[in-house]
Amino acid sequence: MVLANSTITLARVNDGETGEPGRIYFIELSASTIQRGGEGAYLPSEITASGYYRDGTAEMRMAYAGRWAIDTSEDGIRFTAVYASEQDEAACAYDTSELGANTAAVRFTLLASGGTGTVLDMQTLPVVTGAGSLDAVYQEIDRRYTDATKTAQEIVLSAVKDYVRTSDLETFMEQVSTQFVQSADSIDILFSRLTETIQELEGETVSEFAEWKKYIRFVDGSIVLGEENNPLILTLVNNRIKFTSNGVEVAYFSDNKMYVSNIVATDTADLCGLVITKDSAGNVFIN
């Protein structure tokens, strides 16, 4: 019988110090997509790829001259080489008119300088068919967006409609607008109506204006209805309908009951079967 002894030694090694971030290499392209028009033309007509590097946490990028490879694909999976640089270049350009009718993607590859074959970065551009000019789309979106203003605090949507009526005696113009305002704590719907009546009086043109502004406001689960410059406001909450005048609650409905400090009945009042009426002569009858 042979006995063998073995010794195992365990040693704890402390973590080393954190090193400085290294150098990164990257490609910047002159466009993010290639568009194929209805007649087979491509936009933009040329794509430029530029190579850069950045050391550690430095903010400044530096141009990098390396080798370039350009490949195209019809399915985005299998690529065919169409260009390979024979010397170091800081940038390379590709003429999109050389693309085939079925090209689906173009890939740019930046390799290390000197022809070592080391890949530093790779970027692929999709070819979009029938998308039209994206610039035109962006312009149309921007044009339509002028009626909707967004800020960090609120969203405002406005709609305005004008009505004009003319006759031999007067000119009538009315503008009706609705504005939707959403902020962090409330949603307001504002209704505005502006009326202008223009008349000729003794050879002079006279304009009369009338404006009404009403609103519906949703605040903290409540619905508030009011009119600008009118002290009376109606507020609907989950179990209560209340009326306020100049900020003071003057009446409210709750649990099938109405609470009000003063009631004025001008013609008839029916209180639990007791009917009080007043005729045209001002006589009061109780039945």
pTM above 0.95, yes or no: no
Q: Do residues 214 and 227 make contact, with C-beta atoms less than 8 angstroms apart?
A: yes
Most confident of 90-94, 168-172, 258-262: 90-94
Q: Per-residue pLDDT for 13 more than 80? A: no
Nearest to 109 by CA among 127, 98, 94, 129: 94
Q: Coil, strand, or helix at residue 31? A: coil
Euclidean distance between the first and the last CA atom of the chain, given in angstroms as a whole number: 127
Query: What average pLDDT does the structure give for the chain?
Result: 77
Residue-range domains of the chain with CATH: 23-129 (2.60.40), 150-257 (no CATH)
Most confident of 128-137, 204-213, 265-274: 265-274
72-77 average pLDDT score:
88
Spell out the residues 6+ positions from residue 267 whose beta carbon is closer than 8 angstroms to its own: 277, 278
23-52 average pLDDT score:
88
Nearest to 233 by CA among 215, 221, 220: 215
95-122 average pLDDT score:
91
pLDDT band at 216 (very low <50, low <70, confident <90, very high): confident
pLDDT for 218-274, tens place per residue?
A: 877 788 888 877 888 888 888 889 988 888 888 888 888 888 888 888 888 888 888
The per-residue pLDDT for 91 is: 95
Spell out the residues 6+ positions from residue 181 whose beta carbon is closer than 8 angstroms to its own: 154, 155, 156, 187, 188, 189, 190
Tokens 């962090």, located at residue? 184
- Rounded Cα gap, residues 50 and 15, in angstroms: 39
Q: Per-residue pLDDT for 61 more than 70? A: yes
Q: Coil, strand, or helix at residue 140? A: helix
pLDDT band at 196 (very low <50, low <70, confident <90, very high): low
